[in-house]
Structure 1
Amino acid sequence: MTSRELTGFLPLSETQPGEDDLPRRLSDMAWRIGFGAIGWPWLLASLSGGRKADKRALLDELGLAHDALPHLGSWKADVGFLRHIVREITRLRPAHVVELGAGASSLVAARALQLHGGGRLHSFDQHGGFVDATRQWLADNGLGVDIRHAPLTRESADWPGRWYAIDNLPDQIDLLIIDGPPWSVHPLVRGAADSLFARLSPDGVVLLDDAARPGERLVARRWRQRWPHIDFRLMKDGTKGTLVGRRRDVTLPVANDNDAARTWRHLGRAAGIAALIATGWIARGALGEFPQPAQASSFLDEAAASRRAALLRQAMASQVESATLNPQEIERSTGIILPALPVGWRVADVQLFPTADSPAIAMSLESPRGEHLSFFADRAETPADAKPMLAERAGDVIAYWEAGDMAYALTGQATPRRIMELAATIAPAS
C-alpha cells in the first residue's frame, strides 16, 4: 500500500480480533516478535523506495507527472516492484489484474493497463478510508478502477492470520499483484493468496512484494511445494525483492496438490517460537527458508544452449539471421534490459531464446579483433554480482554477471582472461 500523502514507518493499524480469540492473538504476537527480531535488516532496507532517477524514468514511461508518486518505501511499494508490474502488463496485456493491497501499485497498474490493452484492475484493501482516498487519487489522474474495501475477517485453513473478505472475482486472473496484508497481521499471512492461484489463466503471473523478507521466503518455499506448475523466482532488484511466479505448463490444470484443511496449533507454535528466540535458533534459520546461495547452473546451461543454437543457425542457409538491435523494443516487449555494447562491436544476430518461464535474448557478436562471441540476457538469479564470474560449458568459456534483476553471459572460445577482459567492457563498473 502507498498513499500520495506522507505516511509513517509502520502500516496502518488493523482491527483486532475479539477478546475470545486470545490464543490467536498470543500466537500472532509471538510470530511478529520472532520475525521482527530477525527481520529488522530487511525492514531497514525497505525504508528506501528506490532511486529518484529510477522513479522519474518509470513515471516518464507511463506518461505521469514526476510528483504522481511522492512517497515510496517503508511499508509501501518501491520502484523495483512497480517496474515489475509495468513489465508484466506490457508483456501480457492482461484482461484481468487482481491486486491485494491498494495504493501506488494501483496507480501504476491502472495507467499501464490504460496504455497496454485496456484490461481491468480489481483492487482490494482492508482499510475503507484508504480505499476511498486511493479511488480519488486515481480519479485525479484520470484513472478509474474497481477498488473495493475487503476487511480482514476471513479464516484460512492453511495459513495463519486473517484474510481478505473478497467476492466477485473474475473467473480467470492474468496477473495477481500481492502487496498485502502487511506483515504486522502475521509474517506468513500473504501465503493465503494461493487461494486464488487456481484462477490463474494460461501464462498467468503472480507478483509478491517484500519477497526478500524471512516470512515471505517461508511463504515462497511452501508455494513451490504446493504449486508445482508455477515457476517461482526471487528477483533481487529494488529494495525489498519481488517473487515472480509464472504458470508454465498450460496443458495441465493448476490445482492445489494439498487441499486437505489443517488446523494451526497457535499456542504450540507461539511457545516454539519463544523457545527458539531464547536459544538463538531463529537467527540461524531453523524456521525455514532464509537467503540461500543462488545457483547459476540453469542460467549457464541456457546461455550455452543459445550459443549452440546460434552456431547451428549460422550454418543453415534456410535460417534467417537478424542483425537489427532495438533495445527499447526488446525492453518494452520482454522486460529485458540490454547493456550498451562497446564502440566497434558488431551485432551479427539477435534472437529471442525460449527459457523455462519467459523468452531470453541471445545475440551473436564480433569484437574489433574479429572474435566471435555470444551474449545472453535473461531475468535470473546467480551467485554473481556486478563483477563477472567465470564458468565453462562444452569447451566454451563463459563470463556472467548481474545488474539489478538481469543476468548476463558472454561466451566464447578465447582464454578465460580474455573473456573476462571483454566482459568487463560490458559489465557495470564494480
Structure 2
Amino acid sequence: MQSAAFFKQALVIITLLFFTIPADSNAEITPKEREKTYKQLEVFANVLSILQDNYVEEIDSSETINGAIRGLLYSLDPHSAYLPPEGFQELQEETQGQFSGIGIEITIKDNILTIISPIEGTPADKAGLKAKDIIVEIGGEKTKEMGAVEAVKRLRGPQGSTITISVYREGWSDLKEMTLTRDIIPLQSVKAFFIAPGFAYTRITNFQSHSTQDYREAIGRLSEKDKIKGLILDLRNNPGGLLNQAVSVADTFLSDGLIVYTKGRTDDQNMSFKAHKSSEDLPYPLIVLVNEGSASASEIVAGAIQDHKRGLIVGTQTFGKGSVQTIIPLPGGAGLRVTTARYYTPAGKSIQALGITPDVEVPFVACNGASNEENVEKTRLRESDLKNHIPGNDLSDNNSSEGTDEDENAHEVRLAQDNQLRTALNILKSLNLYSQFDLVK
C-alpha cells in the first residue's frame, strides 16, 4: 500500500510540474506528445516506487523528487535551474543588490564548477580569483557535479564568516587553498570619476534594480565639476543582471530605435525594447570596454551601442550569454529559472554563444608584460564553452555609487596597469581633437 501511495504521489507531482503552463502561454502539447510524456513519467514513478521499497536506506521522497527535478533542468542548459526556497530568496535579494558571500559569478563547464568573473571590490576579487578558475572544493567537499545552485548556497553565508575553497588555474602545478571572509556584496554597482581632465571613466559592475538611476546621478555629479568631453563605460567582467536596467542604461545614450528584442517559442516570449528621446540622454562621445567576462545584460548594452553606431566597443570578445531566463514561483517558496528565449541586437545578431565582437580588439596585457594575446585566448571562458549551451540563431542580414574620487597618482597607476583603458582614453582624446579641425575643403 505504501508503495502504491508513493507511486500516485510522485506521478501527480511530476505531472503538475510538466503540464502546468502559464495562462497567457500559447504553447500546445499534441495528444501524441502528451501520451509519450505520460509513459516516461510512469517509468520514472515506477523507479521511485522501487527505490522506496528496496533501497538500502529509507528514502526521503521530497528530497528524491527535488533531486530529479534538479537533474532534469541541469540536462537542458547551464542556466535553467530548480531553486529551493532558500535559493529563490537569495536570487531575489541579489537582484535587489544585496547578499552576503564572496562575490563571484559561476557556471558549470564539463561538470566542473568554473568562475565566469569575480565582482569588482568583493572578497573574491581581492583574493585574486579570475575568470576560468576552477573551484575544486568548497569547505573540503568536492564540487564535481555539485551544481551551481548548491555551490552558491555553500559559498554564501553570514557576513564575517569564512569559507575555504580549493582553486585550480591553468598553469598551476597544484591546487591553491584560499580562505575568504564573506562580506555584504556592495549595493552600489556604479563608479564614476574623471580619469583625465574632461574625460570621465564610469563603470557598472552588474545591473541591479537601481543601476540606471545611480549611473545618471553619478554623471550629473561629474558634469557639475567639469565639462565632459568624452565618456568611457566599463562593462568588463560585468556578468549581467536585470534586463530592464540594461535597456534603460542603453536608452541613456540612444534617442530612438530598437535596443534589444527576444524571440522564443511562443508569442508571449517575443518582446522588443526601444529607446526614447529624453532630456536626460547623454550626448558625449562614448567608448564601451568589454571582455570575456562581459555577459548577458552588459552584452545587450554593448550590442545596442554598436549597432546604432553610437560609440565604439573596445576590448575582447564577450562571453556570449544571450538567453532569457524566466523566473516562475512554485508552491512552498521554491522557484524555476527556465530559459525561454534568445536575445538579439537591433541588427538581428544573436548574442547567444556568439557574443559581441569589439570594433577595436585590444587583448589585455598585464603591466609586467607576462600576458599576450595567445595566453588571453587560452584562458577565455564563453557561453559556447559550456556543456548543453543553447546554440545561437543569428537573424541579421549579414549573419550607485559615485565611487571614490581618485587622485592624479591613482589615475596614472590605473592607466599604467590597464592597456585597454589607455586605448579607450587615447581614442576619446583623438575624437575630441579631430572634432576641433575643419577638414572639409
TM-score, with normalisation over the residues of structure 1? 0.26
Q: Which has the larger radius of gyration?
A: 2
